[in-house]
Structure 1
Amino acid sequence: MKTLKTLAVAAALGLAAGPVLAQELYVPNLAYRTGPFAATGIPLMNGQADYMAMLNARDGGIGGAKLNFEECETGYSTEKGVECYEKTKGRAIVTQPWSTGITLQVLPKTNVDEIPILAPGYGFSPMADGKVFQWAYNTPAGYWDAASMILQYLDGQGGLDGKKIAFLHLDHPYGKEPLPLLEKKAGEMGFELVPIPVGLKEMQNQSAQWLQIRRERPDYVVMWGWGAMNAGAITEAVKTKFPMENMVGVWWSGHDADLKIVGADGAGYKSISWSFPNADAPVMADIKTHVVDAGNSQSNEEEMAGVFYSRGIVISAILAEAIRVAQEEYGTAEIDASQLRWGLENIDMSEARIEELGLTGMVPPFSTSCANHTGHSGGWMLEWDGEKFVKVSDLLSADLEDYQGLIGEKAQEYADANAPWPVNEGCEG
């Protein structure tokens, strides 16, 4: 009601003074529709863009302000990503880097530019510490959450003590992110961790890595892949007859198109996920009516049924919710970056709110705060049945207490290494 009254007063004043200028929120996306990771980027970007287009068409934007969801193409290149950040930061109220490498480069700039980073499900895991990282958010779950849930799930299959886990990962900041937690848990749970990096030039030819896997004979392969690496690894796993039921990927390694390459031979492969496609969710009908049927979508029916397109929808819904709560708090439609920061710290994506947004079954509940910039939503274990991903677990929750201290330790290490680093002393809890 507060927002409606404020906007009504603003509109009345505008009419009295003359024509009202269109209100707009600039929320650019550092997209990657080209390059070696395009196959995964395109459905994500399409889902994000379609949700924002739906809000513009159905609701006139958010709170009376249209959304300018301009894309700046990075090709997943860190250098191009930084260029896009510099190009867009003048008007942007948020930056969406879409790469851990870009995120790490932009992270120090946020304290100066005071523009929040929104990196849903990726980025630097210690960004969960909102006291140290005042302008960075990796809602609704971080990489250490993913590692925790994967290990919990595997431990439930017969224990991990005495087992061997091959960690097949992209040789990139993203692929190395879960190593601190995996190394900690290997000592605590009694399993042997064998890191196996995949270079950017090796993504499509992983014969050396899979030769090592055959030699090591691990009980499980945990994959932290991206783009062409995922398809390459899954194809090699099938070729070498690795038991697919013993291969588990992070949420960026659970792309339908990668598994369709091997079809039924990939049955049993699993991926942890904080999102899930639901064709019957009301939001899907609204996107069809207001975007697809209007000829304004770059997607297609097959892509829209997949995990990554629906994840793009959820990501934009998270940003939209942060915008909405910030508008309500500050009584203005055209919030600035600092006000959006407050919104990102006050998201309450409860079951009831998820239902209201039409996202039924598509994302687990989570909430953020000044101190908690991740939300730690939990996730589902998905399994490829030969044709599509299906849920094979109840909602799993990361054991945050187990590594809360590690988050604080690594956050402080980062702050010390980048001193002087401002922290939010007023942020408690």
Structure 2
Amino acid sequence: MKQFTKLAFAGVLAALTAGAAQAQELYTPNLAYRTGPFAATGIPLMNGQSDYMAMLNARDGGIGGVMVNAEECETGYSTEKGVECYEKTKGKAIVTQPWSTGITLQVLPKTNVDMIPILASGYGFSPMMDGKVFQWAYNTPAGYWDAADMIIQYLEGMESLDGKTIAFLHLDHPFGKEPLPVLEALAEEKGFTLNPIPVGLKEMQNQSAQWLQIRRMRPDYVVMWGWGAMNAGAITEAVKTKFPMENMLGVWWSGHDADLAIVGEAGKGYKSISWSFPNLDAPVMADIKKHVIDAGLSKTDETEMKGVFYSRGIIISAILAEGIRVAQAEYDVAEINAEQLRWGLENINMTEARIEELGLTGMVPPFATSCSNHTGHSGGWMLEWDGEKFVKVSEHLTANVAAYTELAQQNAKDYADANAPWPMAEGCEG
């Protein structure tokens, strides 16, 4: 009997110890894609995200004194695997980071039931900007409709678009089709012709048919909504067909240094809108080098660290960390839960002063979220490839959000109606 009591006590003690150990972390799983056709873009993004959290753990003992567990679940950018990863990690997660518009759309209705916030920085379903409807989803700090508006705004700043032709070269995937409602509305308003040219997943590396179509069309501009291997394929074809690179612009996922490095000087003039920028002199970079790189805790290298995507990964993790801090302060608890983080993510105020405090100087524009605004609409900069690297060639651009707010609200309502019963954020006004 004594032996049983001893064993029973040991079991209880082990359970309590395991429970305490589990509680002493902030579990922020990342649905990573370091493999598959989009790995070239996934790797630097994941490295940036991972290194920032590792830096906080090493330098600060985590966030608010609690260590961050930023475990990765590999999806290969597959929607099916992404949903499997979501189901596998949701039990103790305080956030889910789907890393694909396709995965986001599959997970979106689940979060209302599971009560886990989605952080889909700069991607996903654009009407997620409406926090009253999508109370668990955030595409902070900028959405695809913001990107479409800023690209057209930039072009219009150079010349009238009336009578012009724009070829919209896009991945034939939910991600590639996402900006079409805004681009179509802008085409009607500004008087330009928009010609969508889809690129299938199997055509990403061989786009000869699409570029033959572009040669015949002779558009004034090519706007590219590409991802992974599609970007390198398109840029290589553009150079080969002698399309003027200064007239080719991409979304922020089409501005990857490694893709342009393939063509080098020949890619000079290519542009990409971006809500992040690699500032190697920012204090955060020195902290990551000291606490993570020099400690042998990173998978990155010197070349990758200089690029747009590595620094964007840093910004994404910094946004998540800020949401966690805001929630910790509001609820006066370090080990926050998913519902508390939801509040934190919709109460971020990234002022210039706060960006400076976090050591992110020049790396992201200011933005703020609220219960009704889950995007933040930070705006961004137009970046241009100078033959060796991306440089800023515009002042801070901001999207004309008012022009598509009604469209977003209608699309959000349609989505909610189609997925009824759909819980709304009652009393959300600001």
TM-score over 0.5 (shorter chain): yes
5 Å matches for 1:406-421?
406-421=407-422
Partner of 1:307: 308
Q: Which structure 2 residues correspond to residues 217-366 of structure 1 after superposition, within 5 A?
A: 217-366=218-367
Corresponding letter in the other structure for 1:276: F
Counterpart Cα distance in 2 of 1:324 and 1:228: 36
How big is the shift at 1:379? Answer: 0.3
The alpha carbon displacement at 1:21 in A equals 4.3
SS in structure 2 of the partner of residue 156 of structure 1: helix
The correspondence of residues 139-218 of structure 1 with structure 2, limited to 5 A, is 139-218=140-219
Q: Deviations over 1:378-403 (max 9, x none)?
A: 00000000000000000000001111
Q: In the alignment, what sits opposite 1:29?
A: 30
4+ aligned runs moved over 6 Å, structure 1: none
d(CA) in 2 for partners of 1:426, 1:65? 32
- List per-residue Cα deviations over 1:167-216 (Å, max 9, x = no partner): 00000000000000011111111000000000000000000000000011
User: What is the TM-score of this pair, normalised by structure 2?
Assistant: 0.95
* AA partner of residue 199 (structure 2): V
Of the structure 1 ranges 136-145 and 399-408, higher mean CA displacement relative to structure 2 is found in 399-408
Distance in 2, Cα, partners of 1:318 & 1:139:
8
Residue identity (%): 83
Offset, 1:30? 0.2
5+ residue gaps, structure 2? 1-16
1:123-163: CA deviation from partner (whole Å, max 9, x where unpaired): 00000000000100000000000000000000111111110
User: TM-score normalized by structure 1?
Assistant: 0.95
Secondary structure of the residue that 1:354 maps to in structure 2? Answer: helix
CA distance in structure 1 between the aligned counterparts of 2:238 and 2:65, rounded to whole angstroms: 51
Partner of 1:392: 393
User: Which 5+ residue runs of structure 1 have no aligned equivalent?
Assistant: 1-17
Match of 1:241, as an amino acid? K
Query: Once the two structures are superposed, what CA deviation does each residue of 1:341-377 show, in whole Å capped at 9, x if it has no partner?
Result: 0000000000000000000000000000000000000
Distance 2:211 2:414 in 1: 35
Question: How far off is 1:419 after superposition?
Answer: 1.3
Amino acid across the alignment from 1:306: G
Once the two structures are TM-superposed, the CA of residue 20 in structure 1 deviates from its matched residue by: 11
- AA partner of residue 393 (structure 1): S
Match of 1:6 in 2: none
Residues 42-53 of structure 1: pairs in structure 2 closer than 5 A? 42-53=43-54
What CA distance in whole angstroms lies between the structure 1 residues aligned with 2:246 and 2:341? 42
Q: Which residue of 2 aligns with 1:404?
A: 405
- Asked whether 1:374 is paired with 2:385, we answer no
Question: 1 CA distance for matches of 2:197 and 2:413?
Answer: 28
Question: Number of residue pairs matched?
Answer: 413
Where in structure 2 are the equivalents of 1:91-110 lying within 5 Å?
A: 91-110=92-111
Q: Let me know the Cα RMSD of the aligned residues.
A: 1.3
Structure-2 separation of matches of 1:103 and 1:167? 23
C-alpha distance 20-207 of structure 1, shift in aligned 2 (>3 A)? closer
How much does 1:425 deviate?
2.1
Distance 1:98 1:20 in 2: 30
Residues of 2 paired with 1:225 and 1:404: CA distance? 25
Aligned residue for 1:9?
none
- Secondary structure of 2:166 counterpart: strand
- Residue 9 of structure 2: aligned partner: none
Counterparts of 1:130-145 in structure 2, within 5 Å, are 130-145=131-146
Q: CA deviation at 1:424?
A: 1.2
Which amino acid counterpart does residue 245 of structure 1 have in structure 2? E
SS in 2 for 1:62: coil
Quick one: distance in 2 between partners of 1:159 and 1:276? Answer: 28
